Amino acid sequence: MIKDKKVIRDILEQSEKFFHTKEDDEQIETTFEVVEKLQKIHPSSIVCRYDGNDLIGHVSILPTSKDLMNKFINKEINEKKLFELTIPQERYEAIYLLAAVVEPKYQKNGIATEMLLEAIKGVPLLKNPVLFYWPFTKSGEKLAQKVASILKMTLEGRKNIFE
Ligand SMILES: CC(C)(COP(=O)(O)OP(=O)(O)OC[C@H]1O[C@@H](n2cnc3c(N)ncnc32)[C@H](O)[C@@H]1OP(=O)(O)O)[C@@H](O)C(=O)NCCC(=O)NCCS
């Protein structure tokens, strides 16, 4: 669980730099309140790495239900609604890969994979949990595929995102 306000601010800034959530009604916004709810859903929902004082990357996941996952994948609800409707539970059926960012000079060294494995392994899961994602980029898709294959989890994605 990340409590340090400076660390949370660094993560929010890094996330906004890559995802521009403030200009997008569909995406979950990068705010302190969102970080608080994510960590209430599960304390390991956000994982980050520093090199000295520099934040080199972070990942966040949203443990949720298969029902909400299906609605999101079928585009009945957007990412914001998925987040709003998710409530803290003892065990989860599905994990949404909410965000993964690694600064360019540190990429392709396995850092995002390592952070995501740490985040997901912290979460108590029900049988046959599903990993799902909404890829913005090819690298994000590759990352999701790699993590799902390591954890032997079924992977689902929102369709047609690159088209
Ligand atoms: C996605 C991102 C976080 C991956 O970080 P990373 O630390 O480089 O990822 P890893 O080194 O753990 O690589 C994971 C897998 O993805 C592959 N991959 C990473 N970047 C890639 C790229 N640009 N093109 C193709 N494959 C890529 C890796 O090769 C690896 O697979 P492999 O082991 O089978 O070769 C990073 O590229 C990034 O910050 N991108 C911009 C933000 C973004 O698009 N986030 C994803 C959407 S939430």
| Whole-number Å distance between alpha carbons of 93 and 114 | 22
Q: Categorize the per-residue pLDDT at 160 as very low, low, confident or very high, splitting at 50, 70 and 90.
A: low
How far, in Å, is the centroid of ligand 1 from the Cα of 90? 31
Q: Report how far residue 119's alpha carbon sits from residue 149's, in angstroms, rounded to the nearest whole number.
A: 16
Q: For residue 104, what is the DSSP state?
A: G
pTM for this predicted structure: 0.94
Residue 73, helix vs strand vs coil: helix
Does ligand 1 come within 6 angstroms of the Cβ of 143? Answer: yes
Q: How far is the CA of 143 from the centre of ligand 1 (A)?
A: 5
> From the alpha carbon of 137, which atom of ligand 1 is closest?
44
| Phi, psi angles (nearest 5°) of residue 76 | -80, -25
Which of 144, 146, 147, 139 lies closest to 157 in space, CA to CA?
144
Q: What is the pLDDT of residues 30-81, one digit of tens each?
A: 899 999 999 999 999 999 999 999 999 999 999 999 999 999 999 999 999 9
Domains (ranges, CATH) in the chain? 5-157 (3.40.630.30)
pLDDT, tens only, 72-106: 999 999 999 999 999 999 999 999 999 999 999 99
